[in-house]
Amino acid sequence: MIKVLLVDDHELVRTGIRRLIEDIKGLEVAGEVETGEAAIEFANEQRVDVVLMDLNMPGIGGLEATRRLIAKDKHLKIIVVTVHDSDPFPQQLFKAGAMGYLTKGCNIDEIVHAIKEVFYGRRYISVDIAQKMAMNIQPEDENPFDKLSQREMQVMMMSMQGMKGQQISEQLNLSPKTISTYRYRLFEKLNVTNDVELTRLAMQYGLIDDTI
- Per-residue pLDDT at 114 exceeds 50: yes
Q: Comparing 67-71, 98-102, 183-187, 202-206, which segment has the lowest mean pLDDT? A: 202-206
The torsion angles phi and psi of 122, rounded to 5 degrees, stand at -110, 135
Distance between CA atoms of residues 44 and 190, nearest Å: 37
CB atoms within 10 A of CB 170: 13
Q: What is the pLDDT of residue 179?
A: 92
Q: What is the pLDDT of residue 55?
A: 84
| pTM summary value | 0.68
Q: What is the pLDDT of residue 139?
A: 47
**Most confident of the following: 33-42, 50-59, 94-103:** 33-42
For the chain, list the domains and their CATH numbers: 2-135 (3.40.50.2300), 143-204 (1.10.10.10)
